[in-house]
């Protein structure tokens, strides 16, 4: 740990223990707190390694302590005497609570319950927050900071520390894409949440139709190295010079490229929230996931089936609902035409705007 302060009354600690998309919404709330209370100094204790660099580059934290260094720095952390330790609903597991209690603090803030979800470790909290209904995730996080005198704001978007001065990406873009209309694509999601993913054969048909309707459009498909084979199959019938696969880039390079895209088409997931954070309009597909909580703000577009049983995945513990659902009609009955027509309309409208 490189930075220290004796102003312990204004020093707090938060945990980074969520998916990338969730963390970007948390960062938005933290950024708002820092804007209203610049005197508050925040340490970020990272429990998921893929969040470490995002936390460091956000510019919001006095110290960022990676998971590997928690035990090494435990004595230093204990000596800090944080005035407050914040635990979000993503810290409703044993390890964050144990770490939090090992640290010395006067105040442990967290959720006792949100709607139908209850935190089984709420007994360890000194400041217990109850929300009677589900709200946008960023708004929920802001409730954790009300004790610092801030007011709840609605309509806040995720925050991502994008670097637009990346000359490598800029040069590649100019060489391969120039001034083309570019659609960013993300067809995957976390392997533990397959209920968020529209079927690959539908994506294949959608992009073939888009390529035929708009032959000058370029596609950039983002994913993990393991997605490359699948992406090649999906774009097999699209002219090779019209699509590019980006499956081995840092999250910062991906964010830079998404910012340069004219449109993002994706399932619910981290890249949707990156698109929203960097200001790129997204067309996102939602199945069981609660769009009231995780859906993007206007002008991005949500495609979903409005069924009585959907959404059924809102809060921790809800994952059994989509896992045990045999047909997942809310996702599986989203049609190729519905997605294609939404993309087509947006491209046409965008072309009209560019000529106005």
The answer to the question of residue 70 being in a domain is yes
The answer to the question of residue 245 being in a domain is yes
Q: Average the pLDDT over 31-40 and give the result.
A: 96
Q: Give, as one character, the DSSP assignment of residue 289.
A: B
pLDDT in tens, 72-122: 666 666 667 899 999 987 766 778 888 888 887 889 999 999 999 999 889
Q: How confident is the model at residue 351 (pLDDT cuts 50, 70, 90)?
A: low
Both 197 and 263 in one domain: the answer is yes
Token pair for 44: 């970020």
Task: Indicate which CATH number applies to the domain containing 249.
Answer: 3.40.50.2000
C-alpha angle 163-29-142 in degrees, rounded to nearest 5 = 170
Burial degree of 238 (CB within 10 A; 0-12, 13-18, 19+): middle
Both 69 and 200 in one domain: the answer is no
Is the pLDDT score of 227 beyond 70? Answer: yes
Averaged pLDDT of the chain: 90
Both 281 and 247 in one domain: the answer is yes
Q: How confident is the model at residue 254 (pLDDT cuts 50, 70, 90)?
A: very high
Distances (CA, A) of 280 to 44, 253, 318: 28, 15, 30
Both 18 and 84 in one domain: the answer is yes
pLDDT in tens, 40-49: 999 999 999 9
Q: Give, as one character, the DSSP assignment of residue 44.
A: E
Q: Average the pLDDT over 297-311 and give the result.
A: 94
Decide which of 16 and 71 is more confident.
16
Predicted local distance difference test score (pLDDT) of residue 102:
82
Both 195 and 336 in one domain: the answer is yes
Q: Which residues are CB-contacts of 35 (< 8 A; sequence separation ≥ 6)?
A: none
Q: Average the pLDDT over 209-225 and give the result.
A: 95
Q: How many CB atoms lie within 10 A of CB 348?
A: 12
Both 94 and 173 in one domain: the answer is no
Decide which of 343 and 166 is more confident.
343
Predicted local distance difference test score (pLDDT) of residue 78:
67
Both 113 and 171 in one domain: the answer is no
Of 148, 179, 214, the one marking the end of a domain is 148
Of 93, 119, 148, the one marking the end of a domain is 148
Is the pLDDT score of 315 beyond 80? Answer: yes
Integer Cα distance of 180 and 240 in angstroms: 15
- Structural domain total, the chain: 2
Both 128 and 43 in one domain: the answer is yes
Token pair for 270: 């981290």
Both 95 and 125 in one domain: the answer is yes
The answer to the question of residue 3 being in a domain is no
Of 148, 182, 212, the one marking the end of a domain is 148
Q: Average the pLDDT over 128-151 and give the result.
A: 95
Contact in structure between 43 and 70 (CB atoms under 8 Å):
no
The answer to the question of residue 157 being in a domain is no
* Helix residue spans in 48-160 (DSSP H): 52-57, 74-80, 94-102, 137-143
Predicted local distance difference test score (pLDDT) of residue 189:
66
The answer to the question of residue 332 being in a domain is yes
Predicted local distance difference test score (pLDDT) of residue 355:
40
The answer to the question of residue 335 being in a domain is yes
Structural element, H or E, at residue 25: helix 20-36
Concatenating the DSSP letter of every residue in 202-246 gives HHHHHHHHHHHH-TT-EEEEE--GGGHHHHHHHTTTS-GGGEEEE
Q: How confident is the model at residue 191 (pLDDT cuts 50, 70, 90)?
A: low
The answer to the question of residue 132 being in a domain is yes
Q: What's this model's pTM, rounded to 2 decimal places?
A: 0.93
Q: Give, as one character, the DSSP assignment of residue 8.
A: G
Domain ranges, residue 275: 167-355
The answer to the question of residue 153 being in a domain is no
- Phi-psi domain of 178 (left: phi exceeds 0; alpha: psi -120 through 50; beta: other): left
Both 130 and 41 in one domain: the answer is yes
Both 180 and 309 in one domain: the answer is yes
Q: How confident is the model at residue 1 (pLDDT cuts 50, 70, 90)?
A: very low
Decide which of 88 and 145 is more confident.
145
Predicted local distance difference test score (pLDDT) of residue 70:
72
Both 144 and 214 in one domain: the answer is no
């Amino acid at each position: 740990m490189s930075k220290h302060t004796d102003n312990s009354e204004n020093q707090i600690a938060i945990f980074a223990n969520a998916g990338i998309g969730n963390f970007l919404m948390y960062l938005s709330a933290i950024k708002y707190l820092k804007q209203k209370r610049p005197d508050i100094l925040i340490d970020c204790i990272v429990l998921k390694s893929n969040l470490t660099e995002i936390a460091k580059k956000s510019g919001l934290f006095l110290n960022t302590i990676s998971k590997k260094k928690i035990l090494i720095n435990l004595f230093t952390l204990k000596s800090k005497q944080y005035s407050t330790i914040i635990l979000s609903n993503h810290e409703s597991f044993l390890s964050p609570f144990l770490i939090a209690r090992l640290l010395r603090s006067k105040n442990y803030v967290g959720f006792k319950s949100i709607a139908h979800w209850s935190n089984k470790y709420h007994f360890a909290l000194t400041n217990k927050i109850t929300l009677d209904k589900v709200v946008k995730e960023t708004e929920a996080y802001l409730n954790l900071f009300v004790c610092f005198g801030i007011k709840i704001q609605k309509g806040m978007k995720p925050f991502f520390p994008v670097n637009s001065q990346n000359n490598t990406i800029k040069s590649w873009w100019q060489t391969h894409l120039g001034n083309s209309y570019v659609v960013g694509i993300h067809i995957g999601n976390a392997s533990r949440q397959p209920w968020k993913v529209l079927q690959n054969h539908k994506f294949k048909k959608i992009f073939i139709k888009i390529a035929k309707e708009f032959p000058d459009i370029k596609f950039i498909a983002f994913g993990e190295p393991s997605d490359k084979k699948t992406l090649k199959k999906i774009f097999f019938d699209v002219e090779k010079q019209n699509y590019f696969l980006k499956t081995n880039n840092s999250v910062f390079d991906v964010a830079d490229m998404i910012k340069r895209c004219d449109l993002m088409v994706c399932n619910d997931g981290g890249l949707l929230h990156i698109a929203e954070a960097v200001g790129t309009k997204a067309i996102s597909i939602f199945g069981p996931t609660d769009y009231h909580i995780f859906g993007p703000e206007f002008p991005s577009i949500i495609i979903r089936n409005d069924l009585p049983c959907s959404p059924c995945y809102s809060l921790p513990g809800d994952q059994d609902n989509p896992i045990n659902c045999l047909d997942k009609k809310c996702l599986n009955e989203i049609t190729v035409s519905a997605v294609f027509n939404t993309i087509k309309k947006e491209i046409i409208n965008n072309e009209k705007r560019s000529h106005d």
